Amino acid sequence: MEPYKITVDKQRKQSIAVHPKVTDHLPATPIQQLPLYFGSTNKEVHLSTNDQLDQNEIHISEDILTALRIPLSPLYHIRYDNSQFHLGPFIGILVSSSHEFLRERVHFLDSFIVDYPSIGGAILTFSLEGVNPDDLSIHGFMYNPKNHQWIEGTYSYPSAMFSILEVSLTDKWQEFQYITKHFSTHLQGNIYNYPNFGKWEMHQWLQTTPKVEPYLPETTLYKDPEDLYEMLKNHQHVYVKPTLGRLGQGVVTCSLHHYGVSVRFQDHHGNHRLVLSTPPEFYSFFKKRLSPEEYIIQQSLSLLSTDQRIVDFRLMLVKDQCGKWSNTGLFSRYGAKNSIVSNITAGGYARWGQDTLVDLLDSSYEEAQKWEEQMTGIAVDAAEVMESYGIHAGNLGFDLAIDQNRKLWLLEINNQNPDHYIALAAGQEDALVRARRYNLLYCKYLAGFTESS
């Protein structure tokens, strides 16, 4: 069905008018009182028909447009159920902690709206700073499909939303938790990638699941240096990772030798190596560096590598317009030479996943496809486990790897903001656009605007 444009009725109050053909399928009389919903807010209106209107025109009185903060520029769909008239979809994307950061970078979000006609409705990007819980308003940027611009303004709450805020890289964790919980309440749970979870929670959930547990490296929670030393005695090489870390930040590798423990880590100054020769040195170093229960210790794996670069894979798993999981791209990450992490931000590079599987495993593309199907199956199983623990997921990034014995491992799951820009780094812009289109289509689905509606 063609989307609808909004026109302003400056004569009447609390009214909405549509062409008679619009009401043909409505199970009610063409003139009645009913609530008009836009996002999570509504107002009682008088619904009538007017054969002078275009069939794709909705005439709304100015007082209602003002009260519900309905922008005129989007092209809308309508939904009628339970004697309620819904205008939408109204989708929100939480992008940043500060409004100024969003203002400077809002044009980078254009990849979300490449296929706006398949989504329609109001698409609002905003920051934590832009949310006013007292009057249930948001100051942000609304997409205008007429001139392809993001228009700054103050709007009501959406009907569904998701977050791409890298909150663990900011000092706004507590504020983020408060705001997303607030939205979950007011949007009746229509917020996905919520709540956030850490690496330790993920491991605890997945290790109880027979379908997924065999693919998990041995992992324990760091409480004191003794925990780390016990894992070193068992595995000789381990990774220490922040439970809420992103982009390889804060990762430490440790190796046990006859002369002590060698330690490698990265910071903004570069790569560092040191040797802790005695137990007092070891305990003192990690007491100062690591906070209890804020890190996990994970067995190190002998992963496939090439040219002194470790290689792992990122699988993009998103929900579509039917709420079903879809693999929108498998990519490989080659770490910088001699780096302890594979992250592109640490000097690595990306390729299309199947090309890498063919090269590393000396296999055919048919075999590479089977590897990708296995990875996808593990990812979907893991996603379903997380949802059984109350996580509303819809946009996930799975880090997987293959060791030198060709055993597949699940290393990590990211739900803060899976970095789909890896698709751009691999020269596959269409995969980024497809994933972001699905992000919005899933929001549209949550808002109740499906093909059947």
Same domain, residue pair 62 and 13: yes
452 lies in a domain?
A: no
Q: Residue 86 forms beta bridges with which residues?
A: 37, 79
Q: How far apart are CA 68 and CA 79, in angstroms?
A: 17
Q: What is the pLDDT of residue 82?
A: 80
Assigned domain for 66 exists: yes
| 383, 240: one domain | no
Whether 200 contacts 278, CB under 8 Å: no
Look at residue 123 and tell me if it is in a domain: yes
Helix axes 365-388 and 199-206, enclosed angle (nearest 10): 100
* % the chain with pLDDT above 70: 94
pLDDT digits (tens, 9 = 90+) for 302-349: 999 888 888 999 999 999 999 999 999 999 999 877 654 555 555 688
Is 451 a member of any domain? Answer: no
Do 50 and 130 lie in one domain? The reply is: no
The upper half-sphere exposure of residue 31, i.e. CA atoms within 13 Å in the direction of its Cβ, equals 3
pLDDT at 270: 75
Pair 287, 342 in one domain: no
Q: Within this chain, do residues 11 and 142 fall inside the same structural domain, yes or no?
A: no
Predicted TM-score (pTM) of this structure: 0.92
Domain limit, last residue, from 269, 299, 329: 299
With residues binned 3-state (H G I as helix, E B as strand, rest as coil), the percentages for the chain, rounded to 5, are 30, 35, 35
Find the mean pLDDT for residues 417-429.
89
Q: List, in sequence order, the alpha helices (H) in 290-390.
A: 353-361, 365-388
The tally of domains found in the chain comes to 4
pLDDT of residue 376: 98
Yes or no: say if 315 and 285 are a contact pair by the CB < 8 Å rule.
Answer: no
Give the HSE-up count for residue 223: Cα atoms under 13 Å, Cβ half-sphere. 5
Q: Is residue 356 part of a domain?
A: yes
Flag whether 453 is in a domain: no
* Same domain, yes or no: 312 and 434: yes
Is residue 284, in this structure, part of any structural domain at all?
Answer: yes
Q: Are residues 15 and 162 in the same domain?
A: no
| β-bridge pairing 219-221 and 295-299 | antiparallel
Token couple for 449: 């605007």
CATH number of the domain where residue 408 is located: 3.30.470.20
More confident residue, 9 or 171: 9
Q: Do 309 and 440 fall within a single domain? A: yes
Reported as a single tens digit per residue, the pLDDT across 253-300 is 999 999 999 999 877 777 889 999 999 999 999 999 999 999 999 999
For 365-406, how does the pLDDT look when each residue is reduced to its tens digit (9 = 90+)?
A: 999 999 999 999 999 999 999 999 999 999 999 999 999 999
CATH number, domain containing residue 47: 2.40.40.20
Task: Give residue 59's domain range.
Answer: 5-87
Q: Are residues 31 and 134 in the same domain?
A: no
The answer to whether the beta carbons of residues 389 and 378 sit under 8 Å apart is: no
Examine the fold and report which residue of 299, 321, 350 is the final residue of a domain before the chain moves on.
299
List pLDDT tens digits, range 213-238. 999 999 999 999 999 999 999 999 99
Question: Is residue 99 situated within a structural domain?
Answer: yes
20 plus 81 within the same structural domain: yes
Same domain assignment for residues 315 and 431: yes
Instruction: Say if residue 245's pLDDT is above 90.
Output: no
The string of pLDDT tens digits covering residues 189-209 is 999 999 988 899 999 999 999
pLDDT (0 to 100) of residue 234: 96
Q: What is the pLDDT of residue 341?
A: 52
pLDDT in tens, 35-64: 999 999 999 999 999 999 999 999 999 999
Domain boundary at 242, 265, 299, which? 299
Same domain, 313 and 165: no
